[in-house]
Structure 1
Amino acid sequence: MKRSDFIKSGAALLSSSVLLTNDLMAEKKEAIKGAPFKLDYAPHQGMFTSTAGKNMIDEITYMHDLGFRSIEDNGMPERPVEEQKRIGETLTRLGMRMGVFVVPKGGNGANTLAAGKQEFVDIFLKGCRESVEVAKRVNAKWATVVPGDFQRNLPMGVQTANVIEALKRGAAIFEPHGITMVLEPLSDTPNLFLRYTDQTYEICKAVDSPSCKILYDAYHQQKNEGNLINLMELCWSEIGYIQVGDNPGRLEPTTGEINYKNVFKWLKNKGYSGIVGMEHGMSKSGVEGEKALVAAYREVDNF
């Protein structure tokens, strides 16, 4: 073989090898991009509609392609029964989990459980019974309860006892079905009865049921009390579910002041295998916002 032909042949082989290597690297990057995360983050409908469209089944499938293995849907009870069933079937087919939905009228400003009024308790218990049927259709194991506002004409101890008694009756409905109502302390307004982790811990201890635990939303608790990891450690036995959102702004991790990489590392080391609900907005809109959202979770999941 002539030297010039040999050089040409070698160059062609090298070029082919480089292209092959680049292709393999691209495939590897794409595989990593869609690989499951270390923790089980759960998006909501609407986070990926720019790419997947507005059909929830299509969006769930796309979430799975991105590496997510659970979803949340606060308004699941308001969806038509047939749609609930299709969602449940899709999650089963993809090996995904259903996260929390909100118990219908599970306690709010209009029917606060702190008031101790029978008509309010009846509304709450009706919502619990309806939630059991919803949970069966989508194979859900958790349902969110917010006890509502303060009843300010009653002493705090009486209000707390009223909430505990109502929750005991709710837990009795959920317990035979293996469903846990998770109580969420919130930061939205000072009128809310349930605001702090230790307060929720005390109530769960008093209810004394595997079907009554804490929904720890790090966004709300950063606003209310801070000291996230230490308070989770102190109240860990009663924490049944995690939600996140950065503060300020209630957007995806990396946009605010919470060091979510450390928080998620702590959860993993703690042995947490439950769902981490993505209970927040997005810093950007459209396809770019969706890419930024996934990139943020890949970053904080890299611990």
Structure 2
Amino acid sequence: MERRQFLQQGTLAGLSTLAFGSAAAAQQNPSPEQTGKTFNLNYAPHDGMFKNNGGNDILDQIKFMHDQGFRAIEDNGMMKREPAMQEKIGNLLSKLGMQMGVFVIDAGDNWKVSLATGKQEFKDNFVNICTKALETAKRVNARWATVVPGYFERNLPIGIQTANVIEALRMGSAILEKQGLIMVLEPLSDNPDLFLRTAEQSYMVCKAVNSPSCKILYDIYHMQRNTGNLIPVMDMCWDEIAYIQIGDNPGRKEPTTGEINYKNIFKHLHKKGFKGVLGMEHGNAFPGKEGEMALIKAYRESDDFL
């Protein structure tokens, strides 16, 4: 390599590193008066989001989250944790005055053709996993659990598929109602095979199921990708929305990293009197301890709407 080319590449690499460091440093430190202050809305981080500052142990991470002002967590994989750990998490949340957000109900059928078929084996699996979910919910004092009805069965008319899904969800709701656990249906954008794609479709399904244990999880990231028109659609579906998740687009990172005006959305939710949990269902834009502090600062900025 020629000396000039080597020096040019070295300079560019150095500038790139400085640019990243400056971007992270500019965002990383919440002001002293904000550290530990509760937010205007109830944002819920997840396991691993603050592992560099809080440590690898989920219990230590929860303590760190609390110290930063968060008053809820969510954990998609909670049902896979040992019951003893579930109880430890539940006890710590209770001690700290924090809420448990969603965990995922999945019998292994969420990411394949399942409930839309109407087959008894899938309905039985769903009822069984809903029954087990009650045990997990009790240990961690959870009120919500995410449900994904699987993929389209493209050999059946859409009306028949929809009726099959509604029937299965009614069966699951009857189980969850016993303990007041709410399944929140999540329309997704991951691939076009998923049966639930929009909030409006989920609204129709919830109306048909007609249960206090069947509501909508409005994931703003997925809804931006699938339909946009975020606030008007949210308002139209409002009476069936029980839980909200966050992620900017593109990239599925924290607010301020993409195109979504989260400060405006959070202000709208506050005006509507939303008192539920907003799950931080996204990754970190920057790595390491600095990236984690930058994420907190992004939430402080987006939460500053009063």
- Normalising by the residue count of structure 1, what TM-score does the alignment of the two structures yield? 0.89
Q: Is residue 39 of structure 2 the alignment partner of residue 37 of structure 1?
A: yes
The unaligned stretches of length 5 or more in structure 1 are 1-27
Which residue in the other structure is 1:188 paired with? 190
Which residue in the other structure is 1:299 paired with? 301
Which residue in the other structure is 2:8 paired with? none
Which residue in the other structure is 1:257 paired with? 259
Higher RCO, Cα 8 Å, sep 6+: 2
Decide whether the 8 Å contact of 1:106 with 1:146 is kept in 2: no
Decide whether the 8 Å contact of 2:46 with 2:73 is kept in 1: yes
CA distance in 2, matches of 1:152, 1:143: 27
- Report the Cα offset of residue 61 of structure 1: 0.5
Q: Is residue 36 of structure 2 the alignment partner of residue 58 of structure 1?
A: no
Residues 251 and 105 (structure 1), Cα distance of their counterparts in 2 relative to 1, 3 Å cut = same
CA distance in 2, matches of 1:167, 1:107: 14
- Report the Cα offset of residue 51 of structure 1: 1.1
Which residue in the other structure is 1:155 paired with? 157
Which residue in the other structure is 1:206 paired with? 208
SS at match of 1:222: helix
* Aligned counterpart for 1:286 among listed residues 275, 285, 288: 288
The 5 Å alignment of 1:1-303 reads 29-105=31-107, 107-110=109-112, 112-303=114-305
Deviations, residues 209-249 of structure 1 (Å, cap 9, x unaligned): 11000000000000000000000000100001000100000
Identity %: 61
Decide whether the 8 Å contact of 2:284 with 2:295 is kept in 1: yes
Aligned residues: 276
CA distance in 2, matches of 1:50, 1:112: 39
SS at match of 2:60: helix
- Report the Cα offset of residue 108 of structure 1: 1.8
SS at match of 1:241: strand
CA distance in 2, matches of 1:236, 1:214: 9
CA distance in 2, matches of 1:57, 1:268: 29
Decide whether the 8 Å contact of 1:106 with 1:128 is kept in 2: no
Which residue in the other structure is 2:26 paired with? none
SS at match of 2:86: helix
Decide whether the 8 Å contact of 1:40 with 1:276 is kept in 2: yes
SS at match of 2:79: helix
Decide whether the 8 Å contact of 2:113 with 2:152 is kept in 1: no
SS at match of 2:32: helix
Decide whether the 8 Å contact of 2:248 with 2:258 is kept in 1: yes
SS at match of 2:154: coil
- Report the Cα offset of residue 105 of structure 1: 2.0
- Report the Cα offset of residue 111 of structure 1: 5.0
- Report the Cα offset of residue 176 of structure 1: 1.7
- Report the Cα offset of residue 106 of structure 1: 6.9
Decide whether the 8 Å contact of 1:241 with 1:274 is kept in 2: yes
- Normalising by the residue count of structure 2, what TM-score does the alignment of the two structures yield? 0.89
- Report the Cα offset of residue 33 of structure 1: 1.7
Structure with greater Cα Rg? 1
Decide whether the 8 Å contact of 1:105 with 1:123 is kept in 2: yes
The unaligned stretches of length 5 or more in structure 2 are 1-29
Between 108-117 and 88-97, the greater mean CA deviation after superposition: 108-117
Which residue in the other structure is 2:22 paired with? none
Deviations, residues 123-158 of structure 1 (Å, cap 9, x unaligned): 111110110000000000000000000000000000
CA distance in 1, matches of 2:140, 2:33: 29
